[in-house]
Amino acid sequence: MENSARQATRLDAIHGRYDPWLLAVSAALACAGVIMVGSASLGVAATHAVDPFYFLTRHLIFLSVGLGLGFWLMRTELKTIEQHNQWLLLVCVVLLLLVFVPVIGKQVNGAKRWINLGPASFQAVEAVKLLYIVWLASYLKRFSEDISATWGAMLKPIGVAVVLVALLLMQPDFGSSSLLLAITAGMLVLGGVNMPRMFGPVLIGLPVLAIIAIAEPYRVTRLTSFLNPWVDPFGTGYQLTNALMAVGRGEWTGVGLGASVQKLSYLPEAHTDFIMAVIGEEFGFAGVCTVVGLYVLLAGRALWIGLKCVEMRRHFSGYVAFGIALWMGLQSFVSIGVNLGLLPTKGLTLPMISYGGSSVLMSCAALGVLLRVSYELDRAQRQVARLRGEAGQGQGAAPPAAAASNTGPAASPNTRSHDNARGTSRLRQRVEPSLGRSA
């Protein structure tokens, strides 16, 4: 008992390390956001007759609060977050309902997506994305075997997603609805769902989404203007044509930081939804490729960390990493695609770069959770390595008589390797069971 207590103390003294690649790419995106919001918002500030650095100042405030939230989550044990998973789903529903409450909800441009916080507004769906990912990760861990074996276990998270999407469509917010459904499908696939069973909901869901998309005249207008924006360059195609002119003007290396012309009241939402077009104009093809590379690195690294967590049977951590990777990857893909004229216009920001308090806050929170996943993964790997080393030393110091008692006069190599593997398996289970499913 005393030896076990000493060993547990030694393991508790082992600390992990935050993934340096995630830290680097997060810092790079945050710095790029500060630079580009400062540049792209100058024309918007002039239009609104406010201080030239009004939007930059607010962005820095939101970023500072977001970094504080991210640091707090980086130091919070994932098992503590997992224990409150059921409450997180309830919070998602409450947040999406609050936008319809008079005084609390705030309507902008005909959409009820914001919660009024006095000096600022908060877009509820940004928090819902992260909270829903955490809940779904917990669900996939708890019902991992049933997900691949029964219809009911697979349809429950889909039903939850449909309820959230219905609330989003009432705001209306078709872009976030589609993103939430895509994240759900991706996490179910990565969670081991039976693929033939997924075809049914997908075959039903895609036509329904298509009908919803064409039910509103403004969505049809967006689709037709996307197919040929030059038919009405001063009307329905105004945003896209100006975005394409900005990207085209940047050519290979851009016109230089601050030298964009399109941001001077020509390109609508230059500091939010269309900030990538300003990047293309000021930094050219090289700048666009750099930003795309940062998001590819972020999503790829998150998927790799999630895979390593699953291999170590830390399934909750792995699924959280998968969900955040899908969120950041898909949202950045859609935002960049809209700016380059590859996708119809959607109101999705570029994570960590676009101006917007809600987006910046929750992107920082998501990266904080992701960094915590990398920390606990590294800590578990170090603990397993310590246990393996101690097990190897103990086996090497075992007296011949002890070995003979198990294997006879001469233990066979196969028997020893089987015993070593079984011992290592027991040691791994002592470190990893808190967030992994049972063997």
**3-class secondary structure for 94-115?**
HHHHHCCCCCCEEEECCEEEEE
Q: How many whole angstroms separate alpha carbon 247 and alpha carbon 253? A: 11
What percent of the chain is modeled with pLDDT above 90? 51
Identify residue 169 by its one-letter amino acid code.
Answer: L
Residue 405: its pLDDT value, please? Answer: 38
pLDDT (average), residues 176-184:
93
Residue 151: its pLDDT value, please? Answer: 87
Q: Phi and psi for 17 in degrees, rounded to 5?
A: -135, 135
Predicted TM-score of the model (pTM):
0.86
Residue 209: its pLDDT value, please? Answer: 82
Residue 85: its pLDDT value, please? Answer: 81
pLDDT (average), residues 186-194:
90
**Residue 301 falls within a domain, yes or no?**
no
Residue 274: its pLDDT value, please? Answer: 92
The answer to whether residue 404 scores a pLDDT higher than 50 is no
Residue 8: its pLDDT value, please? Answer: 57
Banded model confidence at residue 116, pLDDT cuts 50, 70, 90: confident
pLDDT, greater one: 107 or 181: 181
> Out of 213-217, 237-241, 285-289, 427-431, which region has the weakest mean confidence (pLDDT)?
427-431
Residue 426: its pLDDT value, please? Answer: 42
Residues 6+ apart with CB under 8 A from 283: 250, 253, 254, 257, 290
Residue 409: its pLDDT value, please? Answer: 40
The count of domains in the chain is 1
Q: Please tell me whether the peptide bond between 172 and the residue prior to it is cis, using omega within 30 degrees of 0.
A: yes
Q: What is the 3-state secondary structure (H, E, C) of the chain?
A: CHHHHHHHHHHHCCCCCCCHHHHHHHHHHHHHHHHHHHHHHHHHHHHCCCCCCHHHHHHHHHHHHHHHHHHHHHCCCHHHHHCCHHHHHHHHHHHHHHCCCCCCEEEECCEEEEEECCCCEEEHHHHHHHHHHHHHHHHHHHCHHHHCCCHHHHHHHHHHHHHHHHHHHCCCCHHHHHHHHHHHHHHHHHCCCCHHHHHHHHHHHHHHHHHHHHHCHHHHHHHHHHHCHHHCCCCCCHHHHHHHHHHHHHCCCCCCCCCCCCCCCCCCCCCCCCHHHHHHHHHHHHHHHHHHHHHHHHHHHHHHHHHHHHHCCCHHHHHHHHHHHHHHHHHHHHHHHHHCCCCCCCCCCCCCCCCCHHHHHHHHHHHHHHHHHHHHHHHHHHHHHHHHHHHHHHHHCCCHHHHHHHHCCCCCHHHHHHHHHHHHHHHHHHHCCCCCCCC
Banded model confidence at residue 1, pLDDT cuts 50, 70, 90: low
The tens digit of pLDDT for each residue in 378-389 reads 999 988 888 887
Average pLDDT, the chain: 84
Banded model confidence at residue 396, pLDDT cuts 50, 70, 90: low
The answer to whether residue 413 scores a pLDDT higher than 90 is no
Q: How many whole angstroms separate alpha carbon 248 and alpha carbon 285? A: 9
pLDDT (average), residues 389-401:
58
Q: Which domain holds residue 149?
A: 80-199
**Residue 14 falls within a domain, yes or no?**
no
Q: How many whole angstroms separate alpha carbon 306 and alpha carbon 320? A: 7
pLDDT (average), residues 332-361:
90
The answer to whether residue 407 scores a pLDDT higher than 60 is no
Banded model confidence at residue 319, pLDDT cuts 50, 70, 90: very high
The answer to whether residue 400 scores a pLDDT higher than 60 is no
The answer to whether residue 172 scores a pLDDT higher than 90 is no
**Residue 142 falls within a domain, yes or no?**
yes
**Residue 431 falls within a domain, yes or no?**
no
Identify residue 225 by its one-letter amino acid code.
Answer: S
Residue 395: its pLDDT value, please? Answer: 61
Burial 8-24 (b: 16+ CB within 10 A, else e): eeebeeeebebbebbee
Q: How many whole angstroms separate alpha carbon 345 and alpha carbon 417? A: 60
Angle separating helix axes 54-74 and 20-47, nearest 10 degrees: 160
Residue 411: its pLDDT value, please? Answer: 42
Q: How many whole angstroms separate alpha carbon 121 and alpha carbon 58? A: 12
CB 173 within 8 A of CB 113: yes
CB 315 within 8 A of CB 309: yes
**Residue 62 falls within a domain, yes or no?**
no
**Residue 190 falls within a domain, yes or no?**
yes
pLDDT (average), residues 273-281:
94
The answer to whether residue 408 scores a pLDDT higher than 60 is no
> Out of 76-85, 105-114, 130-139, 311-320, which region has the weakest mean confidence (pLDDT)?
105-114
**Residue 130 falls within a domain, yes or no?**
yes
The residue with tokens 């939804």 is 273
The tens digit of pLDDT for each residue in 211-264 reads 887 777 777 777 777 788 888 888 888 888 999 999 999 999 999 998 899 988
The answer to whether residue 9 scores a pLDDT higher than 70 is no
The answer to whether residue 6 scores a pLDDT higher than 70 is no
Residues 6+ apart with CB under 8 A from 138: 82, 85, 316
The answer to whether residue 432 scores a pLDDT higher than 80 is no
**Residue 166 falls within a domain, yes or no?**
yes
The tens digit of pLDDT for each residue in 294-315 reads 999 999 999 999 999 999 999 9
